[in-house]
Amino acid sequence: SQQGEEDPQALSIQEGENATMNCSYKTSINNLQWYRQNSGRGLVHLILIRSNEREKHSGRLRVTLDTSKKSSSLLITASRAADTASYFCAIYSSNDYKLSFGAGTTVTVRA
């Protein structure tokens, strides 16, 4: 499976700080998606960035994509306790027409 790999595996920050996590992959992609999962719940879609896009914003989230380095980053600004969750990147490739998920980054925001 041609999945993305997130880094770091876990991240602990103080409320108000920014959180950055990275995703690397090995294949060519059509798009890359970020999802959030609260403990024991389903995943929630955050952002989709296409291979011809370099940056996208949604509220306090900023996603960048560098296809030459085969990597993406998710930045959460001014974090809140409610941002405590696991964050997954998922790559969609026309090589296999599937969305492949990484193992995730667990983010803990301390009050």
Partner 1 sequence: DGGITQSPKYLFRKEGQNVTLSCEQNLNHDAMYWYRQDPGQGLRLIYYSQIVNDFQKGDIAEGYSVSREKKESFPLTVTSAQKNPTAFYLCASSRDRELRQYFGPGTRLTVT
Site of interaction with partner 1 (CB under 8 A) = 1, 3, 30-31, 33, 35, 40-45, 48, 88, 92, 97-104
Query: Which of 43/76 has CB closer to partner 1?
Result: 43
How far, in Å, CA of 76 to CA of 30, rounded? 24
The CB-of-4 to partner 1 minimum distance in angstroms stands at 9
Cβ–Cβ under 8 Å, residues 46 and 61: yes
The CB-of-58 to partner 1 minimum distance in angstroms stands at 12
Cβ–Cβ under 8 Å, residues 5 and 21: no
The CB-of-42 to partner 1 minimum distance in angstroms stands at 4
The CB-of-105 to partner 1 minimum distance in angstroms stands at 11
Cα angle 111, 101, 68; round to 5: 95
Query: Which of 50/80 has CB closer to partner 1?
Result: 50
Cα angle 23, 108, 103; round to 5: 35
